[in-house]
Amino acid sequence: NAGVTQTPKFQVLKTGQSMTLQCAQDMNHEYMSWYRQDPGMGLRLIHYSVGAGITDQGEVPNGYNVSRSTTEDFPLRLLSAAPSQTSVYFCASSYFATGELFFGEGSRLTVL
Amino acid sequence: KQEVTQIPAALSVPEGENLVLNCSFTDSAIYNLQWFRQDPGKGLTSLLLIQSSQREQTSGRLNASLDKSSGRSTLYIAASQPGDSATYLCAVGAGFQKLVFGTGTRLLVSP
C-alpha cells in the first residue's frame, strides 16, 4: 500500500520558471491538501480539495494553482517561481473531512 | 486567528524516562487535534487523533489528552526509547482539511 506519493523529492528552479509538484494517493480519500513547511513557522496550508472538481484556498495560496480532476491526484503548480517559495512541500489526504491526515514524504524545492 | 504553541521547543531525556509534551491553542472552537511525529528529512506520521468531543486517546506507550476549555493538549510518552527521538508536532483542526500546526518539540532520548 503506497499511501500518499509525492514527486519529485528534490527540485531546483530558477526564478520565473514554472513547475508542477505531483501528489497521488491510493487510499480512495476524498480530501486532499497541500502544506509548506518553513523553519520556525510550522506547516501552513496552501490549497485543499474536498473531492474531484472542488478546490479551495488555504492560508498561503498566492503563487500556486491546483486542480483535482480525479480522486487520486492533486497536483500543485508553481506559476512563476520566486525565492520565497523555497520550502518543503507536503501533500496530505484523509478519508473523512475531520479524519486522520496521512502525509507524503515531501518535496524539497529550492528557487534560485 | 488560531495560533498553536508547543513548549518546550527542544527536550533531551535519558532512556526510560516518562515525559510530557505540551500544546496550547488560542481558539477552543476546533474540530479535532492531531499529534504527529516527523523524523529528519521525512514526512509526518500520524500518532493520535482526538476529535473535539473526546478527552483523550491512547496508542501503546502514547497518551494524548485534550482540554478545549483551557486550550491545551498534552502528549504523554511512557518509558521513552532512543527510537522515540524525533520532532513531535501538534495540529489543531480549524475546519475541513484545515490544520493549524505548532512549530514542534524536538525530542532526543539518550541511551
Write out pLDDT tens, residues A19-62: 999 999 999 999 999 999 998 888 999 999 999 999 999 999 99
Report DSSP state, residue A80: S
The beta-carbon neighbor of B42 closest among A31, A43, A105 is A105
Question: How many other C-beta atoms lie within 10 A of the C-beta of residue B27?
Answer: 14
Write out pLDDT tens, residues B38-57: 999 889 999 999 999 999 99
Residues near A62 by Cβ (< 8 Å), separated by ≥ 6? none
Task: Write the burial class of residue B28 (CB in 10 Å: 0-12 exposed, 13-18 middle, 19+ buried).
Answer: middle
The Cα B77–Cα B84 span in angstroms is 9
- Where do we find the cell 515525559? B19
The Cα B73–Cα B49 span in angstroms is 11
* Cell numbers linked to A48: 485543499
Taking contacts as CB-CB distances below 8 angstroms, the residues of chain B near A43 are: 44, 89, 91, 99, 101
* Cell numbers linked to B51: 476529535
Residue A97: closest CA among B52, B70, B37: B52
**What average pLDDT score do residues B5-24 get?**
96
Among A29, A43, A93, which would you mutate to test the B interface (most chain B Cβ atoms within 10 Å of its Cβ)? A43
* Cell numbers linked to A102: 496521512
Return the pLDDT at A1.
Answer: 64
> Given an 8 Å threshold on Cβ–Cβ distance, is B96 in contact with A42?
no
Distance from CA of residue B55 to its chain's centroid? 14
Residues near B53 by Cβ (< 8 Å), separated by ≥ 6? none
